[in-house]
């Protein structure tokens, strides 16, 4: 059997967007992922569905794996021929025991590679608005492992030298020892009035920053638990002008999104870019039709049609997939006038190299009909691949204008396999807002939590709708709609939510 290889990959400090491109490639390729407690669970979604995932312990858990056992695990998986991703918080070689693991692999004759990560030592202060160096303040910075007791006789850290160093001090893992560490620095000559900050869960929407001085920071941050980074130095004073992350409009807000798991990423990215913590409650699952024959038959007869109208991204992707399955490609669409209900639907065509001829100003069925307003449709054949259950407005209106309309099922939406208990756990603690991007996400959410309980479940939660049709459905369910997007896109919905929270701040 060919021996495998181990990649020691830095996952960054918490924000999944700080994973390096190379780290992402390794995660996507790995047969086995061995990960720490502090690794953001969102990164594990990058792994292959069949990849083995092994957690090597949780903070404060008796189940935490010893370092020697982790080393042996990496060796065993590599000897079994696996590509192993050892995913570690921050950077593997900055207080991450990556050196120990690399030595164990080298001693065992296992091929390995280091994929550096964004260290919490500089990234976490950056998210708190603290540059660890500044030309006018200091050009030196020292990273320190803060779990060592400064009072022990055999300390490897020269606290007297650190106290008299004019630069920035960044302490890792210092929460428990912070009173003793700060006192040691004061005792050895560091000014008690030196600015200091403790940053918990840095780079994440749950980030919390406690500011003080060397003399009082331990007392002020006594409620802080790990993970946390402590910064000591005059650069901390720059935070009052540079705290960009906490100034984002949705910082600290917990927002639930109800799209399918496959389609949640775009809205998630829009909301996270505005500082929100996002939780996914998939209310729809996409499934293939019971039979592909009606769609395949229409594809075989494409020459009969003059128009192809698609009202969802799922409709486009499944239509194009069946086009290929029938032995044809995008050239078969030549001569068709192609209409898409909105930018996301059009983007699916564009990715396949297909030009979209009709894109309405309003991204709803009525907008698509308006875009066709100047077209003489008498006698024209129109193909509409869509979900099994959908509004009949477009086909009915087109038939009234003399068109021959053929509606074929390209996919069906079903209720996901989630229990009420699972959904209740997802909603704890209660989100600040919840988004609905279609009528089906609203009705399915009500079914998942119970139609008799949906109003109570969302009491006090800002309810955001992507447009008037979804809003009407939510109101039929008895829900008040706080926000409706002016533009029916994921970006438009995110902006509407952000604007509402900003208004409430004033």
Measured distance CA(470)–CA(442) in Å, rounded: 7
Measured distance CA(403)–CA(426) in Å, rounded: 47
Question: What pLDDT, on a 0 to 100 scale, did the predictor assign at position 71?
Answer: 95
| Residues 339, 487 within the same domain | no
Low-confidence ranges of the chain (pLDDT < 50): 60-61
Measured distance CA(112)–CA(419) in Å, rounded: 43
Question: What pLDDT, on a 0 to 100 scale, did the predictor assign at position 349?
Answer: 92
* 371: helix, strand or coil: helix
User: 85, 101, 118: which is the final residue of a domain?
Assistant: 118
Measured distance CA(340)–CA(489) in Å, rounded: 13
Q: Which residue has the tokens 């109800």?
A: 258
Question: What pLDDT, on a 0 to 100 scale, did the predictor assign at position 277?
Answer: 93
Residue 306: CB atoms within 10 A of its CB come to 16
Measured distance CA(453)–CA(315) in Å, rounded: 32
DSSP state, residue 86: E
How many structural domains are present in the chain?
Answer: 4
pLDDT digits (tens, 9 = 90+) for 247-281: 999 999 999 999 876 677 889 999 999 999 999 99
CA proximity to 370, closest of 336, 331, 405, 339: 339
Question: What pLDDT, on a 0 to 100 scale, did the predictor assign at position 58?
Answer: 57
Strands 195-200 and 254-257: unpaired
Question: What pLDDT, on a 0 to 100 scale, did the predictor assign at position 426?
Answer: 92
Q: Which domain holds residue 71?
A: 5-118
Question: What pLDDT, on a 0 to 100 scale, did the predictor assign at position 181?
Answer: 94
Q: 366: buried, middle or exposed (CB in 10 Å: 19+, 13-18, 0-12)?
A: middle
Tally the residues of the chain. 506
Measured distance CA(450)–CA(462) in Å, rounded: 19
User: 387, 414, 441: which is the final residue of a domain?
Assistant: 414
H/E segment holding residue 33: strand 32-35
Question: What pLDDT, on a 0 to 100 scale, did the predictor assign at position 237?
Answer: 96
284 and 413 Cβ atoms separated by less than 8 Å: yes
| Residues 233, 324 within the same domain | no
Question: What pLDDT, on a 0 to 100 scale, did the predictor assign at position 153?
Answer: 63
| Residues 310, 423 within the same domain | no
| Residues 145, 237 within the same domain | yes
DSSP state, residue 135: T
Which residue blocks in 287-362 are alpha helix, DSSP H? 293-300, 313-325, 343-351
| Residues 144, 200 within the same domain | yes
| Residues 173, 262 within the same domain | no
Which CATH number goes with the domain that contains 198? Answer: 3.30.950.10
H/E segment holding residue 198: strand 195-200
Question: What pLDDT, on a 0 to 100 scale, did the predictor assign at position 72?
Answer: 96
Measured distance CA(18)–CA(15) in Å, rounded: 6
| Residues 231, 152 within the same domain | yes
| Residues 51, 111 within the same domain | yes
Which CATH number goes with the domain that contains 101? Answer: 3.40.1010.10
Q: DSSP secondary structure string, 452-481?
A: TTHHHHTTT-EEEESSHHHHHHHHHTTPPP
Question: What pLDDT, on a 0 to 100 scale, did the predictor assign at position 261?
Answer: 67
DSSP state, residue 404: E
Measured distance CA(187)–CA(12) in Å, rounded: 34
Q: 189: buried, middle or exposed (CB in 10 Å: 19+, 13-18, 0-12)?
A: exposed
The C-alpha torsion from 278 through 22 and 126 to 210, rounded to 10°, is 50
* 316: helix, strand or coil: helix
User: 397, 414, 431: which is the final residue of a domain?
Assistant: 414
| Residues 153, 238 within the same domain | yes
| Residues 157, 306 within the same domain | no
CA proximity to 444, closest of 294, 306, 259, 311: 259
Measured distance CA(309)–CA(339) in Å, rounded: 5
Question: What pLDDT, on a 0 to 100 scale, did the predictor assign at position 413?
Answer: 85
Which residues have a Cβ under 8 Å from the Cβ of 400 and sit 6 or more positions away? none
| Residues 475, 399 within the same domain | no
Measured distance CA(296)–CA(318) in Å, rounded: 11
Which CATH number goes with the domain that contains 360? Answer: 3.40.50.10090
Question: What pLDDT, on a 0 to 100 scale, did the predictor assign at position 393?
Answer: 83
Question: Which tokens in the block code for residue 469?
Answer: 């049709």
pTM of the model: 0.82
| Residues 317, 463 within the same domain | no
């Amino acid at each position: 059997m060919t021996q495998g290889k181990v990649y020691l990959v830095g996952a960054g400090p918490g924000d999944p967007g700080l994973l390096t491109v190379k780290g992402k490639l390794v995660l996507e390729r790995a047969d086995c992922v061995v990960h720490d407690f502090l690794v953001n669970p969102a990164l594990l979604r990058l792994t292959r569905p069949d990849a083995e995932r092994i957690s090597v312990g949780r903070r404060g858990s008796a189940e935490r794996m010893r370092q020697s056992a982790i080393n042996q695990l990496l060796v065993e998986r590599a000897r079994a021929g696996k590509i192993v991703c050892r995913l570690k918080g921050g950077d593997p070689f900055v207080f991450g025991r990556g050196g120990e693991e690399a030595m164990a692999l080298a001693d065992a004759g296992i091929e390995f590679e280091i994929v550096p990560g964004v260290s919490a030592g500089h990234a976490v202060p950056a998210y708190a608005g603290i540059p660890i160096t500044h030309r006018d303040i200091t050009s030196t910075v020292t990273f320190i492992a803060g779990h060592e007791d400064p009072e022990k006789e055999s300390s490897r850290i020269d606290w007297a030298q650190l106290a008299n160093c004019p630069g920035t001090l960044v302490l890792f893992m210092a929460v428990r020892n912070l009173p003793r560490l700060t006192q040691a620095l004061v005792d050895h000559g560091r000014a008690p009035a030196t600015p200091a900050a403790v940053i918990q869960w840095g780079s994440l929407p749950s980030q919390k920053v406690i500011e003080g001085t060397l003399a009082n920071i331990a007392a002020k941050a006594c409620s802080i638990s790990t993970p946390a980074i402590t910064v000591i130095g005059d650069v901390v004073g720059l935070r009052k002008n540079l705290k960009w992350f906490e100034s984002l409009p949705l910082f600290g807000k917990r927002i639930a999104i109800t799209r399918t798991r496959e389609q949640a990423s775009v809205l998630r990215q829009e909301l996270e870019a505005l500082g929100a913590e996002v939780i996914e409650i998939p209310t729809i699952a996409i499934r293939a039709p019971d039979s592909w024959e009606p769609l395949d038959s229409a594809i075989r007869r494409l020459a009969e049609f003059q128009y192809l109208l698609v009202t969802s991204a799922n409709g486009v992707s499944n239509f194009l997939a069946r086009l290929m399955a029938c032995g044809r490609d995008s050239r078969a669409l030549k001569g068709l006038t192609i209409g898409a209900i909105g930018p996301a639907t059009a983007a699916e065509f564009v990715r396949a190299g297909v030009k979209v001829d009709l894109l309405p100003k309003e991204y709803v069925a009525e907008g698509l009909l308006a875009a066709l307003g100047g077209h003489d449709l008498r006698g024209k054949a129109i193909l509409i691949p869509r979900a099994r259950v959908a509004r009949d407005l477009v086909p009915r209106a087109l038939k009234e204008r003399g068109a021959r309309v053929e509606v074929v099922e390209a996919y069906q939406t079903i209720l996901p396999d989630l229990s009420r208990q699972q959904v209740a756990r997802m909603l704890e603690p209660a989100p600040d807002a919840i988004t609905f991007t279609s009528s089906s996400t609203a009705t399915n959410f009500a079914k998942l939590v119970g139609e008799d309980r949906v109003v109570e479940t969302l009491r006090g939660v800002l309810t955001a709708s992507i447009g008037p049709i979804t809003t009407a459905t939510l109101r039929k369910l008895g829900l008040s709609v706080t926000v409706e997007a002016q533009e029916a896109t994921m970006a438009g919905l995110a902006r509407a939510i952000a604007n509402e929270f900003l208004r409430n701040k004033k």
